[in-house]
Amino acid sequence: MTRDLRRDPSPPARWEWPENAACAGMDPTIFFPKRGGHHDVYAPARAICRACPVRFPCLEETMRSELVGNRHGMAGGLTPAERDNVHRLFRRKAVA
């Protein structure tokens, strides 16, 4: 059951965040665009993620479950390249 996050702003339980996502039920190709041109192909997905009430749980789960070199699509408001940078940063801090 989807909660009304305007009335209950507490963070959703880990397992229920997908049903509260702004992208729930949307065409997944928005979040997995084909490369091309010089414009930001992720702009539509980025706008949806920016307004999503569960952006951070989405990003957290994605970051925990992704394999190096196997990042695809927009997740938690970040592109695969942006998530690569975050992973790199955490690896550097862990080694330091």
Q: Where are the domains of the chain?
A: 14-95
The rounded mean pLDDT for the chain is: 83
Residue 2: is its pLDDT beyond 80? no
Using 50, 70 and 90 to split pLDDT, how confident is the model at 48?
very high
Structure tokens at 48: 């949806």
Q: What is the mean pLDDT of residues 33-37?
A: 76
pLDDT-wise least confident of 44-48, 63-67, 79-83: 63-67
Q: Which residues contact 63 (CB under 8 A, 6 or more apart)?
A: 76, 83, 86, 87
Percent of the chain with pLDDT over 70: 79
CA–CA separation, 36 vs 40, rounded Å? 9
d(CA 38, CA 15): 37
pTM above 0.85, yes or no: no
**pLDDT for residue 44 is more than 70:** yes
What element of type H or E holds 33?
none
Specify the pLDDT at position 16: 76
